[in-house]
Amino acid sequence: MKLALASWQFWALCSAGFAALTAILAKVGVANIDSDFATLIRTVVILFVLAGILAVTGRLQWPGAVSGRTYLFLVLSGLATGGSWLCYFRALKMGDAARVAPIDKLSVVLVAILGALFLGERLSGPNWLGVGLIAAGAVLVAYHG
């Protein structure tokens, strides 16, 4: 188990599991509430949970120890996350979770492309085939026909 906790694959699978739960629970949660207000509630919960985790584990950092560049990119990432969440909850309010979630996961395809373009990450031919299959799969799952 200790080896699994040190594995990025373990944490990625946990992320996928929690993302699946997010879609199902959020779909039920936004049924009788404004999607933006639902996003606010979710954000407050995350804020308190993370603050609690950091306090209990002693990993809080002094804000002055963080560089300006780090703050810039984390603030931009936070803005992107907020935009993603607002759009995701609005889509869930309007559509089926089983169709919304795969389109949302097209982010995997966009990350591969942006990672290659801006971060210099290299994917092999089979990796790019997988990216293409993810895109095709998302479209096919979301197709309403």
| Position 72 pLDDT exceeds 90 | yes
Q: What is the pTM of this model?
A: 0.85
Cβ neighbours of residue 28 closer than 8 Å, sequence gap 6 or more:
none
| Position 6 pLDDT exceeds 90 | no
**Average pLDDT of 130-134?**
98
Cβ neighbours of residue 86 closer than 8 Å, sequence gap 6 or more:
35, 36, 39
Confidence of residue 49 (pLDDT cuts 50, 70, 90): very high
Q: Can you give the pLDDT at residue 144?
A: 83
Q: List, as own/partner pairs, every contact residues 4-8 make where C-beta atoms lie below 8 angstroms and the sequence separation is at least 24, other chains included.
A: none
Largest CA distance in the chain: 54
